[in-house]
Amino acid sequence: MELTGAEILVRCLKEEGVKHVFGYPGGAVLNIYDTLNAQDDVDHILVRHEQGATHAADGYARATGKPGVVLVTSGPGATNAVTGIATAFMDSIPMVIITGQVPTHAIGSDAFQEVDAVGITRPCVKHNFLVKDIKDLALTMKKAFHVATTGRPGPVVVDVPKDVTTDRYAFEYPKKIEMRSYKPASKGHTGQVRKAMDMILAARKPMIYSGGGVVLDKSHEVFTEFCRLLGYPVTNTLMGLGAFPGTDPQFVGMLGMHGTYEANMGMHHCDVLIAIGARFDDRVTGNIEKFCPHAQIVHIDIDPSSIAKTVKVDVPIVGAVGPVLRQLNRMIRESERKPDEKALAEWWKQIEEWRATDCLRYDRASKRIKPQYVMEELYRVTGGKAYVTSDVGQHQMWAAQFYKFDLPNRWINSGGLGTMGFGLPAALGVKLALPDEEVVCVTGEASIIMCIQELSTALQYGLPVKVVNLNNGYMGMVRQWQEFFYQKRYAMSYMEALPDFVKLAESFGHVGMKIEKPGDVTGALEEAMAMKDRLVFMDFITDPEENVYPMIPAGAGQNEMILV
Amino acid sequence: MRHILSILLENESGALSRVAGLFSARGYNIESLTVAPTEDPSLSRMTLVTSGSDEVIEQIMKQVNKLIDVVKLVLLTESDHIERELMLVKTQARGEAREEVKRLADIFRARIIDVDAGTYTVEVTGTGQKLDAFLEAVGAANVIEVVRTGLSGIGRGDNALRV
Ligand SMILES: Cc1ncc(C[n+]2csc(CCOP(=O)(O)OP(=O)(O)O)c2C)c(N)n1
């Protein structure tokens, strides 16, 4: 039997086990919408802006590990989606984005709502396709999901011209797919793994530095086993939080620009660095010239181009984190050699001294609400079990520093691109995937307004997330840089003319709360969390000039942190 | 250091722009680039000349390899290989130049493929250096137009890049 292109597309989604599609209709995708409307297997979530669709699908993917799926129309639908596609690309999130396109015969004629979606998205996708012939549609969809979810994951765009959605063709979904040009590695090279083991066991001042790759590969268990086997200090990147329990004393906190003093000093002084599923981002390394001056480096990553990109590596291992660590754990267990207990004890003693600086301290006696305090209380009230999404700025760093993630996939933020506006739609995506979990969006008054329209989506689909707005009246992170590096010239970073967030939340059909005194923080959080079926927007009026400490200023080394 | 990349890529629309886009986005330079289908119509062969430190070249190889449309690639300059480029030059052919350019064409084993009262069109094949040398010998004053294909290359002996 022949199906229309639209029907084939929806059947492909069904075959891939897709339950939810986030999207927004328009002329080029009307046939697809008409088909979606006539079936019950795939639910469509109508967002209020295509950027919201991409972030929601992204949050969905980060929380579940399943690909997020987006459907938008041609032209402005596609361009509105670009920010979210780039966000997913930078953090290697599996997504499939279907963009409508003008009919094949009109392509290239500057037709109404025509943009070159493949061209525009090319630099910010793992791969993209233009389907010019219905015969290729099913195979292309299969490839799209395959490429998005395997190897180093990433977003894949499938651009579908309108006439392809009405053409007819027999539907056959390939069970398996082979692509001669795409064969991601999995297991590491045994010789290299053995070399790594030798280097790791010979270390006297080791550091384990892991990133988002451990989370993406769903390898936190084998990773934790690896860390426990060795007893070495563990630090995570912003993207890697939760891969190792944040409450474990072996964890020395996040590293990087706003990482802990002990993590960064540990990096600077270590003699062997074990980098796992991390990419030596500039926010992690600080000044690359001064990075880990004493260390030999083992680097495990699935993407060869991440290895030795900015930092020279002594033992590179290309492979997926899980299989490589399983190999490594086995070798370490079978090996006669053991880590040098005495050296390690010395090293830990040094690390504890650094830890004793208590680099995350803040003024607990302040009459103003301290944002750090709100994060600590949020952690307490939610029992450390919430899924926390965030926007971008100071609040993001405070959430990362003060909410101790014991499990992966719970901390959902835009690390690579740093996209303001990510938090709320991402939270909706998480809540949709995991309706029984507590989902909290930590945000700032500037960021939240970038995708505030999604409060409407939350109402329509009954997604009772909690919004914690750390309202300092400033684009706080911008203000902090202006305070430190521009002699307090606060150019354009003050948020004038802010809305009344309580009324705003109410007008969208939700509950709004305004909290102005430190003594009211805990009660407000408890009250909000108790409202299980309502979205509660908590507007915390916080100390306007609080800064994120500690900090590695731009151009400095990891041992040159500014402390409180 | 100058290097030559030989790339086999899927003969799909847009594959070329993925490679070219990668180079411009990451700030790698392209000295020349040629591309055409191979004996297998599903594959195109691209020869790309670039330059950079060993680290940069290693990154370029990895980044190009990561493109989904790229099936295989080698660094030709890493082993024995042959380089060829074709050039078409239109020159002055009046007065002294009429004899001189013809003589040079013979020396360079070039061929005059079109003639009229005032001009020659010369076809020269060889390494990039040879083509440069020919242009220098003819002299800027005599050169009217230059068309170069960009470099093509292939490994020596049984050293083959194929799927
Ligand atoms: C889309 C976008 N535009 C601009 C920026 C630059 N930027 C980074 S942090 C920030 C301020 C964020 O302010 P707010 O949301 O109030 O959070 P705070 O830092 O005060 O916690 C800005 C403008 C960005 N990251 N994303």
List the catalytic residues of A. Answer: 50, 112-113, 162, 477
Does the beta carbon of B161 lie under 8 angstroms from any beta carbon of chain A?
Answer: no
pLDDT, position A502: 98
Q: How far apart are CA A427 and CA A463, in angstroms?
A: 9
A178 touches chain B (CB under 8 A): no
Nearest chain B Cα to A132, which residue? B13
CB-CB neighbours of A226 under 10 Å: 26
Quick: pLDDT tens for A497-522: 999 999 999 999 999 999 999 999 99
- Asked whether the beta carbons of A538 and A469 are under 8 A apart, the reply is yes
State pLDDT tens for residues A8-40: 999 999 999 999 999 999 999 999 999 999 999
Largest Cα separation within chain B, whole Å, is 56
Contacts of B28 in chain A (CB under 8 A): none
How large is the greatest C-alpha to C-alpha distance in chain A, in angstroms? 73
pLDDT tens for A425-459 read 999 999 999 999 999 999 999 999 999 999 999 99
Nearest CA distance, B91 vs chain A (angstrom): 39
- Best CA proximity match to A152, nearest among A327, A353, A337, A303: A303
Cα-based distances in Å from B83 to A174, A427, B26: 43, 56, 26
Work out the number of other CB atoms within 10 angstroms of the CB of residue A479. Answer: 24
CB B28 within 8 A of CB B60: yes
Q: Give the whole-angstrom CA distance, residue A274 versus residue A241.
A: 16
Supply the pLDDT for residue A36.
Answer: 98
Ligand 1 center–CA A60 separation, angstroms: 23
Residue A132 has pLDDT above 90, yes or no: yes
Nearest to A209 by CA among A288, A298, A294, A289: A298
**CB-CB: which of A122, A126, A312 is closest to B21?**
A122
Q: Do the Cβ atoms of B63 and A305 come within 8 Å?
A: yes
Q: How far is B8 from chain A (nearest CA, A)?
A: 9
Chain B CB within 8 Å of residue A136 CB: no
Name the amino acid, one letter, at A7.
E
Q: Which of B41, B40, B50 is nearest to B19 (CA)?
A: B50
Question: Is the Cα dihedral A179, A182, A187, A193 positive or negative?
Answer: positive
DSSP per residue over A217-255, as a string? TT-HHHHHHHHHHHT--EEE-TTTTTSS-TTSTTEEEE-
At residue A185, the pLDDT reads 83
* Number of C-beta neighbours around residue A79 at 10 A: 17
B59–A147 CB contact, under 8 Å: no
Q: Ligand 1 atom 2: the closest Cα is on which residue?
A: A420
pLDDT score recorded for residue A288: 95
Residues of A in contact with B68 (CB under 8 A): 126-127, 147, 179, 181-182
Q: Is A119 on the interface with B (CB under 8 A)?
A: yes
The whole-number pLDDT of residue B13 equals: 87
Residue whose CA lies nearest to ligand 1 atom number 8: A393
- Rounded to whole angstroms, the Cα distance separating A193 from A302 reads 14
Are A123 and B25 within 8 A, CB to CB? yes
**What's the token pair of residue A465?**
């997330």
Interchain pair B68, A130: CB under 8 A: no
Separation of alpha carbons A563 and A554, rounded Å:
15
Q: What is the pLDDT of residue A270?
A: 98
Does A1 score more than 90 pLDDT?
A: no
Report the alpha-carbon distance of residue A231 to residue B50 in Å, rounded.
46
Q: Would residue A447 be called left, alpha or beta, if left means φ above 0 and alpha means ψ between -120 and 50 degrees?
A: alpha
Could you give the CA distance from residue B29 to residue B56 in angstroms, rounded to a whole number? 11
Q: For residue A283, what pLDDT band results from cuts at 50, 70 and 90? A: very high
Q: What is the pLDDT of residues A388-433, one digit of tens each?
A: 999 999 999 999 999 999 999 999 999 999 999 999 999 999 999 9
Is B95 at the interface with chain A, CB within 8 A? Answer: no
Give the position, in ligand 1's atom list, of the atom nearest the Cα of A472: 20
Alpha carbon of A479 to ligand 1 centroid (Å): 10
A303 touching chain B per CB within 8 A: yes
Cβ neighbours of B63 in A, within 8 Å: 305
Nearest-angstrom CA–CA distance, A317 and B135: 49
Q: Mind listing the pLDDT tens digit for each residue in B56-76?
A: 999 999 999 999 999 999 999
Q: State the ipTM, two decimals.
A: 0.94
Across the interface, do A304 and B70 touch by the CB < 8 Å criterion?
Answer: no
Please tell me if residue B21 touches chain A, with a CB cutoff of 8 Å: yes
Q: Is B16 on the interface with A (CB under 8 A)?
A: no
Residues in chain B with CB shorter than 8 Å from the CB of A305 are 59, 62-63, 65-66
Per the DSSP assignment, residues forming a β-bridge with A512 are A537
Cβ contact, residue pair A130, B59, below 8 Å: no
Distance A391 CA to ligand 1 centre (A): 8
User: Which member of A181, A307, A312 has the closest CB to residue B71?
Assistant: A181
Nearest chain A residue (CA) to B21: A123
Ligand 1 interacting residues, C-beta cut-off 6 A: A 391-395, 418-420, 444-447, 470, 472, 474-478
Q: What is the mean pLDDT of chain A?
A: 97
Taking the Cβ of residue A142 and every Cβ of chain B, the question of whether any pair is shorter than 8 Å is answered with no
**CA A534 to centroid of ligand 1, rounded, Å:** 27
Chain A nearest-CA residue for B23 = A123
CA distance A11 to chain B (A): 25
From the list B14, B62, B66, the residue facing A118 with the nearest CB is: B14
Tokens 């799909």 belong to residue: B12
Peptide bond into A550 cis (omega under 30): yes
Percent of chain A with pLDDT over 70: 100
pLDDT in tens, A254-281: 999 999 999 999 999 999 999 999 999 9
A354-374 residue pLDDT tens = 999 999 999 999 999 999 999
Residues 6+ apart with CB under 8 A from A71: A21, A22, A23, A24, A29, A32, A36, A44, A53, A97, A98
For atom 13 of ligand 1, which residue has the closest CA? A475
CB contact under 8 A, A130 and B17: no
Phi/psi-derived region of residue A237, left when phi > 0, alpha when psi is between -120 and 50, beta in every other case: beta
